[in-house]
A and B are shown apart, each in its own frame.
Chain A
Amino acid sequence: MSDSTSLLASFDFLDDAVDAIKELRKAGFSDDLTTYASYPDHDLEHALGYGQSPVRVFTLVGGLTGTATGFAFPSFASMDWPLVTGGKPILSIPAYVIPAFELTVLFGALSTVIGLFILTRLPNTAPSVIYDPEFSAGRYGVLVRAGGRADEARTILQKYQPVELREGSDA
């Protein structure tokens, strides 16, 4: 039972949420924390100790694929039926810079979005049990998957005066 206890605290004040996260991390809950906020807050990110996001790998790979495609495709099309127009070389590399550039942006952007969806697990169709509509309005949520240490987590969270503290054995 107590092995899967989760606590969800809602805070009105940002500094309370940030301080609670810091203390929870000190107490060893680093990997069991999820926060909810209505906007991207840097203090929350710092408190959780985030590093680089791997989204950039998707952007780079997508962009380079686009560049390669943008040169390869017009080159192939020109070689497929070599027809001299305007006395220009069959492979007019400077002219292909434009398709290459556009496809770099197109593939880079699309793969960034794909990367984002993979990394954030969106679309998320699971019913949102652990959620509060207030999180998209202004409150800050801190979810602790406390496991067997629910009492310890509860003490820490309560110290920072949450507006609401919910508990459940779900998730």
Chain B
Amino acid sequence: MATITESQRRGALTHPDIEQHGEVNRDILKMLSRPGKGWWALLALCIVGIGIFFGSWGWQIYRGIGVSGLTSPVGWGAYITTFVFWVGIAHSGTLISAILFLFRAPWRQSVYRAAEAMTVFAVMTAGLFPLIHVGRVWHAYWLIPYPNQRFLWPNFRSPLVWDVFAVTTYFTVSAVFFYLGTIPDVAAARDASTGLRKKLYSVVAMGWRGTDREWHHFGKAYIFLAALATPLVLSVHSVVSWDFAMGIVPGWHATVFAPYFVAGAIFSGVAMVITLAVPLRKVFGLEAYLTTKHFDALAKLILLTSLIVLYAYLTEFFMAWYSGEPPERQMFWNRLFGPYWWATWIMLICNGLVPIMLWFKRVRHSIPALFVISIFINIGMWFERFVIIVTSLSHEYEPFAWGVYRPSVIEMGVLVGSFAWFGFWFLLFTRLLPPVAIAELKEVVPPRMRKKQTESVEA
């Protein structure tokens, strides 16, 4: 006897407007048809941005790293800030696709494919920044752990080597996880398309037919991948935070850094999911798939992580005072009232104060309000990394080694261009792969039954 499961019952409440499985295919695959003018305009904008990106980077390669504002004492500036920013953005995708999968959150299905794509593209963007930052990019392969001409290996006690392991693993695993999840949906797209697209999808779907054997092993493999990705996502930003926390720089050398960075990463990532999901919903008419319940759940995640982040900020200030260390105390005073006071206050207001509005249900249910708040958070989280990296390096122990760093135009060009690079891939994704997980959504939409169910699903 086939019955409606608990997750299907709850899923039906989250998506009250979806009645049949066939509808899901029709609505989602419709998104892959001819793009409108808006899409082309955005794509053109992104291509211009990519031009700025590679133009700036090319100029830096041609003239040398001196065209950036990086100089003693601030050797890590906007590039590393943006690297950490994009790695952080990636995190919420894995949170939604892996951690919430293991927790069986009934609302994740609609957002997870887009969030996971966001992860892959954000890591792709982040991965460029170490290459940009090293200056002589033709030596970038020195990052890979292998022995030099004299058979000396890199120092495996260094967090920078750990970072190479963490980020490459994260990129590989999230790309594999993403690809695996799309296979059944690409098979659905294959069955519904013709011509060149059909050929393309046939290759990507690898002959998936949805047989019992395929689903059986697929389901198990997916659980194991989620179980592996869950600690991975927590580890990656911890390792990134240790790039800082392992150094004895005032403002960096703190044990709170790992959880602080992980919470911040999820905070910024969920905000980015909202920033992307709001236009996606509007343009493709996905109101039945991304309901206010989804946005409400995302907003609650933001609220939770914003509290953790705010707590970490306050802890940092408290510990600086309580430690009694003059350099540490001065550094934090300098953060609030020094040359970078504006960056610190942007960070505190955007990440600490603005999300307080999410305590109100009316704000959580208002999609325009959430969109605006999510943009504030994106800005605030970039500045958080800027504050951590730059204020600390500019104000270390020796007063004669203090200095002020200003990002150059080239660095700004690379920063702006990185958004275009990310947007370019995301736009292609929305037209080439089903942007909402069809098969997973069907798992939570009650199947068609001939016999009446004892429990009514229609609410």
Contact = CB atoms under 8 A, between A and B. Distances in A.
B228 A105 contact: yes
A155 interface: no
B454 to A, nearest CB: 13
B439 A39 contact: yes
B211 A96 contact: no
A59 interface: yes
A15 B1 contact: yes
B366 interface: no
Interface stretch (B34-42, B212-220, B298-306, B398-406): B212-220
Interface residues on B, range: 35 or more
A137 B22 contact: yes
Contacts of A108: 224, 228
A26 B150 CA distance: 71
Which residue among A14, A112, A131 has the maximum number of chain B CB atoms within 10 Å of its CB? A112
B212 A112 contact: no
B287 interface: no
A131 B21 contact: no
B210 A13 contact: no
A56 to B, nearest CB: 7
B20 interface: yes
B147 interface: yes
A115 B183 CA distance: 16
A104 to B, nearest CB: 8
B219 A16 contact: no
Interface string A6-17: 000000111110
Interface string B162-190: 10011001001100110010011001101
Contacts, number: 216
B279 interface: no
Given A109-B177, A109-B228, A34 B212 contact: yes
Interface in A87-141: 88, 92, 95-96, 98-99, 101-103, 105-106, 108-110, 112-113, 115-116, 119-126, 128, 131, 133-138
A38 B438 contact: yes
B5 interface: yes
Q: Is the interface of B mostly helix, strand, loop or mixed?
A: helix
B217 A137 contact: no
A121 to B, nearest CB: 8
A56 B222 CA distance: 11
B191 A12 contact: no
Given A43-B2, A92-B156, A38 B224 contact: no
B346 interface: no
A52 B262 CA distance: 34
Contacts of B271: none
Given A41-B447, A124-B208, A116 B188 contact: no
A14 B22 CA distance: 13
A42 B1 CA distance: 11
Q: Is the interface of A mostly helix, strand, loop or mixed?
A: helix
Contacts of B176: 109-110, 113
B407 interface: no
Nearest to A46: B2
Contacts of B151: 80-81
Nearest to A136: B188
A121 B217 CA distance: 11
B442 interface: yes
Given A37-B215, A38-B442, A45-B216, A13 B207 contact: no
A63 B217 contact: no
A125 B244 CA distance: 49
Interface in B1-48: 1-3, 5, 20-22, 25
A121 B187 CA distance: 16
A13 B156 contact: no
Contacts of B442: 38-39, 138
B256 to A, nearest CB: 19
A42 B5 contact: yes
Nearest to B437: A39
22 contacts: A36-B211, A38-B184, A38-B439, A39-B443, A40-B215, A40-B218, A45-B216, A53-B220, A55-B220, A59-B221, A81-B150, A98-B235, A102-B166, A105-B169, A109-B177, A120-B217, A122-B208, A134-B191, A135-B209, A136-B187, A136-B191, A136-B192
Interface of A: 12-16, 18-19, 33-45, 48, 50, 52-53, 55-56, 59, 63, 73-74, 77-78, 80-81, 83, 85-86, 88, 92, 95-96, 98-99, 101-103, 105-106, 108-110, 112-113, 115-116, 119-126, 128, 131, 133-138, 161
Given A39-B184, A77-B145, 10 more contacts: A37-B210, A45-B215, A102-B165, A109-B176, A120-B213, A121-B213, A122-B183, A122-B207, A128-B207, A133-B192
